[in-house]
Structure 1
Amino acid sequence: MTAQSFDRSIKIAPSILAADFADFGREIQAVEAHGADWIHVDVMDGHFVPNLTFGPAMCKAIRPHIKTVMDVHLMIAPVDPYIDAFADAGADILSAHVEAGPHIHRTLQAIRGAGMKAGVALNPGTPAESVEYLLDMVDLICVMTVNPGFGGQKFIHSQIDKVKELRAMIGDRPIHIEIDGGIDPTTAPLMTAAGADALVAGSAVFKGGSVINPVPYGENIRAIRAAAEAAR
């Protein structure tokens, strides 16, 4: 994730929100063995979004099982009091929503100051312009293509134009554009054609498989990747 190693190759980031909650360690090992590039962790507080998932302690518990990149997406407010805890838990990337606090620039500074890559997340109703003056502070922009809170929602097509706008705005800066929500082999190519390079997928990766039978995980990841790469 250093600037030197930055590349815009397609990265598939399975969301463990769709995995077996009783077996996260083996689920992570299974998807990584079958082609996952990153592991996406959706942290929700039941306040900023209408769901409650997990926090720093769980992230710390699964960190030893993650050999790739631990991509932590905070759907919580406030963010700042928890930055050090997620750094201690081993997050490689920590993303906060523009609306999660009054000073997103300060939040991004604090994330980088704690030694992590800084991500900023945009809800479907949040315009691309909201990050225009943050581009030199971020390593990743996460575009929500569903309303945050639950997996398995329907993809919001209006976000395609937002991604095109962000890609033009980024220029040659080493910033990933990540898509979170409703990604499958049908929607993935729409987003990579628009300029995205990191794709979060939950049910589309984990469907049909299990830690006992992880082969479908690999088939699902390859199908998403192939569709995404064909559209570039």
Structure 2
Amino acid sequence: MSICNITVFMPSLLTLIGIPGLESVQCWIGIPFCAIYFIAMIGNSVLLIIIKSARSLHEPMYIFVGMLGVTDIALATTIMPKMLGIFWFHVPEVYFDSCLLQMWLIHSFQCIESGILLAMALDRYVAICYPLRHGAIFTHQLVTQIGAMVTLRAAILVAPCLVLIKCQFQFYHTTIISHSYCEHMAIMKLAAENMRVNKIYGLFVAFTVAGFDLTFITLSYIHAF
């Protein structure tokens, strides 16, 4: 599919082409994607039911695992329906605002997953290094607060990217995204204007979240073992 080099003012619709170069076989590619999606949904749902029904699993570690399962379900559901719509039903169009919302949700859920993994690492650190105080430190109230803080952190960090794209960029040299879903770099490549501020902020968020979380996860396991 060729991309027209034109300038469009505030487009209302964007086009997702799926997997570049494999448009003719995307209907077959969608089958394993759909199978993996349903397996993931069933697996995470069963996990959540088990954690909820067994009182012995109402511990911080299992609650964090449940949070991770919910986040995986939400992230996959944010991406997969539209992707299968492109592969099977040839519906590549997406509203610009819907594309931005999908971008925000995808990166927010990724940030939430990273935060939950950090919380799980800290929980294991306290359980191993301070076993007698673990129950007093990681109370259900603290676990709830951690979940809220992780979610709030993700929403706040990713939101400026969405606002900058919406308010700063008005002219786009194409409305075609060479991807199966909307994500930050793919959307920025559409803009005909200077993307320096948005790109720098996007990299800042990525390195801050990944660097901060990975550093403390590594340190927690090093000290624990």
Structure 1 length normalisation: TM-score?
0.26
Report the structure number with the largest CA radius of gyration. Answer: 2
Which has a greater percent of helix?
2
The normalised TM-score by structure 2 is 0.27
Relative contact order higher in (CA < 8 Å, ≥ 6 apart): 2
